[in-house]
Structure 1
Amino acid sequence: MDELQEFLDAKVAQYNRPAFIEKDPISIPHRFTRRQDIEIMGFWAAVLAWGQRPVILKKAGELIQLMDEAPYDFVRNHEESDLKRFLAFKHRTFNATDALYFLHFFRQYYQQHDSLEDAFDPASTDFSPLSGAAHGQKPVGTVGQSLIAFHDRFCCDPFFPARTRKHIATPARNSSCKRLLMFLRWMVRRDNCGVDFGLWTRLSPADLVMPIDVHVGRVARTLGLLSREQTDWQAALALTDALRPFDPTDPVKYDFALFGLGVEGEL
Structure 2
Amino acid sequence: MEREMLKDFLDEKVDLYNHPSYIDSDPIQIPHRFSSREDTEIMAFLMATIAWGNRKSIIASGEKMLDWMGNSPHDFILNHSRKDLQSFEGLPLHRTFSGEDFAHFAGHLKRIFSAYGSLEPLLLPLQQEENYYHALYRFRCAFLLESTHRSCKHVSSTYKNSAAKRLLMFLRWMVRRDSRGVDFGLYTTHPAHKLSLPLDVHVGNIARALGILSRRQNDWKAVEELDLIVRTLDPKDPGKYDYALFGLGVSGDFSP
Smaller-chain TM-score bracket: over 0.9
Deviations 1:196-252 (A, max 9, x none): 011112321101011110000000000111011111001011112111111110111
Amino acid at match of 1:195: V
Question: What's the CA shift string for 1:131-175, capped at 9, x where partnerless?
Answer: xxxxx9xxx744112101111111215xx3431121001210100
Task: Find the residue that maps to 1:112 and give its secondary structure.
Answer: helix
Aligned counterparts, 1:61-80, within 5 A: 61-80=63-82
Offset, 1:78: 2.0
Question: What's the counterpart of residue 149 of structure 1?
Answer: 138
Structure 1 contact 176–212 (Cα < 8 Å) conserved: yes
Q: What one-letter code is carried by the residue in structure 2 that aligns with 1:97?
A: E
Does the 8 Å CA contact 2:174/2:186 hold for their aligned counterparts? yes
Give the drift of 1:112. Answer: 1.2
Query: What SS does structure 2 have at the residue aligned with 1:61?
Result: helix
**Cα contact 2:196–2:223 (8 A) shared by 1:** yes
Alpha-carbon displacement from aligned partner over 1:173-193 (angstroms, at most 9, x marks no partner): 100000100000000001110
Q: TM-score w.r.t. structure 1 length? A: 0.90
Q: For 2:156, which of 152, 169, 178 is the aligned residue?
A: 169
Check conservation: 1:217, 1:226, Cα contact below 8 A: yes
Do the aligned residues in 1 keep the contact of 2:30 with 2:59 (CA within 8 Å)? yes
Q: 2:110 aligns with which of 102, 107, 110?
A: 107
Deviation, 1:122, is 5.9
Q: How is 1:178-257 mapped onto 2 (pairs within 5 angstroms)?
A: 178-257=165-244
Q: Work out whether residues 210 and 237 of structure 1, in 8 Å CA contact, stay in contact via their aligned partners in 2.
A: no
SS in 2 for 1:236: helix
Moved over 3 A (4+): none
Distance 1:142 1:254, change over 3 A: closer
Distance in 1 of aligned mates of 2:130 and 2:25 = 32
Q: Secondary structure at the match of 1:191?
A: coil
Q: Does 1:117 align with 2:120?
A: yes
Q: Any idea what SS the aligned residue of 2:116 has?
A: coil
**Structure 1 unaligned spans of 5+:** 124-135
Q: CA RMSD in A?
A: 1.7
Amino acid at match of 1:143: Y
- Amino acid in structure 2 at the alignment position of 1:47: T
- For 2:104 and 2:86, how far apart are their aligned partners in 1? 13
Q: Deviations over 1:31-66 (max 9, x none)?
A: 111111111110110010001000000001110111
Unaligned runs of 5+ in 2: none
Amino acid of the residue matched to residue 107 of structure 2?
H
Pick aligned residue for 2:32 from 30, 33, 37: 30
Percent identical residues = 45
Secondary structure of the residue aligned to 1:86 is coil
Q: d(CA) in 2 for partners of 1:172 and 1:142?
A: 13
SS at match of 1:244: helix
CA distance in 1, matches of 2:150, 2:117: 28
SS for the counterpart of 1:39 is helix
Q: Deviations 1:85-122 (Å, cap 9, x if unpaired)?
A: 42313211111221111111111111111221022136
Please give the secondary structure, in 2, of the residue aligned with 1:9.
Answer: helix
Give the aligned partner of residue 98 of structure 2. Answer: 95
Structure 1 residue 5: deviation in Å?
Answer: 1.1
Aligned amino acid, residue 208 of structure 1 = L
Match of 1:127 in 2: none
* Count of matched residue pairs: 251
Are the counterparts in 2 of residues 176 and 211 from structure 1 also a CA contact under 8 Å? yes
TM-score (norm 2): 0.93
SS at match of 2:227: helix
Assess if the C-alpha contact under 8 Å between 1:66 and 1:85 holds in 2: no
Is residue 6 of structure 2 the alignment partner of residue 15 of structure 1? Answer: no
